Structure 1
Amino acid sequence: MEKMNHYIETYSYGLPKSLTELFESINFVKKLEKGEEIYSQGEKAESFFYLKRGKVRVYMTSENGMEKTLSIISRGAILGEAAFFDGMPRVSSASAMQKAEIVVITRQILENAFRTHPEIALELLKLQAMTIRMLSLQVDSITFRDAESRIANFLLESAEERGDNRYVFATQEEIGTAVAVSRVTASRIINEFSRQGLLSTGYGKITINNKKALEAIASKA
């Protein structure tokens, strides 16, 4: 299936403590294999999901079979909530990028939570407002930032801390797709960052060596 390049926002923001505690306490957990579908574009949303482990790709498919990746969801975030709340068919699909665990949140579970903890409803509204803000920043990034700045920002936003190191688990092609530049351009910029000692590259993995320098590049308009 052909894939269409598009800017990807990696959602790594933390949920409020009250929501995290609620979702972590739910026993309706489903284990997923790499590539397994969570929900499909066009279907009715009977639930939404809390990602307990792994990463998930959210994407749209056109009538001629082209795919456009919309976001990569990291653990500790929710997905599929928009169609659940507005009652409209899902506008995207989601699948596991690696082995994952999701908590399935049904309407009954949420209504029970509202009765015992009504403040959770306000937290969910704040979360939706944050998502809208992030989408606005996404438009700003793709419109006004140069390729170096976008790639530096993507690396910083996507990095996972493991011990004293920070890693980005993505290929250069995936990074290019993420920031809407060609693979050749992404490779050239990443290699230049590597030459300057800002990062080290390996197959499917980048180690960030100089976070401050990348932050300076990412902040350029």
Structure 2
Amino acid sequence: MVTPFETDVKWESFLEFGTRQFFKGKTVIYEQGTMGEGFYYLHKGLVKIVSSTVKGNPRLLNIVVPGQIMGVQSMDRQIHFTSAIAVKNTVAYHFNCEQFQEMLKVRPELLSLFTQTVSQKMRTLLFAINMKTLTSEEQIATLLLNICEEYKIYEVPLSQQELAECAGLTRITVYKILKQWKEDGIVEYKNRNFMIKKPELLRAEQLQARTARSV
């Protein structure tokens, strides 16, 4: 089956139907527990998706990069069960339910795209629920795999500092992990970002096997 990220449908061609919004870094775009009405398309910037634990502590679930949509779970006009926070200055387009209906009149195939997108995001969120039980290396690998495998983006548009902020880790921890991955040929630095050269080595079983060999 063709995934929503392998189709020729480009969200950029539908921006005229949405409302352009600007968010400064660290600004909450939508908050867990508030009523939602529509979804967002990330045009520029970087956003992290978090969920609060019963103790009120934030738990990172995913990273959203330009070209992706977020907040789709509120299209049924229910409350958001996650929060979206801009990591740096961000430009997003908001599409309410009525605007989405107008889009469907122009391109009815969007319904299938949207449905598949929602399904994919639910799988991503379910997988991320237990992220804090993972090691720091596994947490970073999981986030990068979400970008590489789901969205077919292998040049990650994140600096080490941004990745640290998204994952809730120290920059030193992230630096050490990426340095080792570079030596292992998994990543390569390019234009202040980094290219994932061997995403298959970021899978949990591969990381665990490499760790066992190094002990």
CA shift for structure 1 position 15 = 7.5
Match of 1:24 among 15, 21, 39: 15
CA shift for structure 1 position 91 = 1.2
Match of 1:68 among 59, 77, 84: 59
Does residue 218 in structure 1 map to residue 202 in structure 2?
A: yes
The residue number in structure 2 matching 1:104 is 94
CA shift for structure 1 position 174 = 2.3
Instruction: Give aligned pairs, total.
Output: 197
The more displaced of 21-30 and 54-63 is 21-30
CA RMSD of aligned residues (A): 4.0
CA shift for structure 1 position 102 = 0.8
Matching residue's letter, 1:36:
T
Q: Closer, same or farther in 2 for the Cα pair 1:199/1:80, shift >3 Å?
A: closer
Q: Closer, same or farther in 2 for the Cα pair 1:138/1:32, shift >3 Å?
A: closer
The residue number in structure 2 matching 1:38 is 29
The residue number in structure 1 matching 2:120 is 130
The residue number in structure 2 matching 1:113 is 103
Does residue 95 in structure 1 map to residue 85 in structure 2?
A: yes
CA shift for structure 1 position 97 = 1.0
The residue number in structure 2 matching 1:169 is 159
Match of 1:190 among 178, 192, 204: 178
Q: Unaligned regions of 5+ residues in structure 1, if any?
A: 1-12
Provide the C-alpha distance between the structure 2 equivalents of 1:64 and 1:146, rounded to a whole number of angstroms. 21
Question: Does the 8 Å CA contact 1:57/1:72 hold for their aligned counterparts?
Answer: yes
Provide the C-alpha distance between the structure 2 equivalents of 1:135 and 1:21, rounded to a whole number of angstroms. 25
Matching residue's letter, 1:79:
M
Give secondary structure in 1 for the equivalent of 2:122. helix
The residue number in structure 2 matching 1:55 is 46
CA shift for structure 1 position 186 = 5.5
Task: Give aligned-pair identity as a percent.
Answer: 18
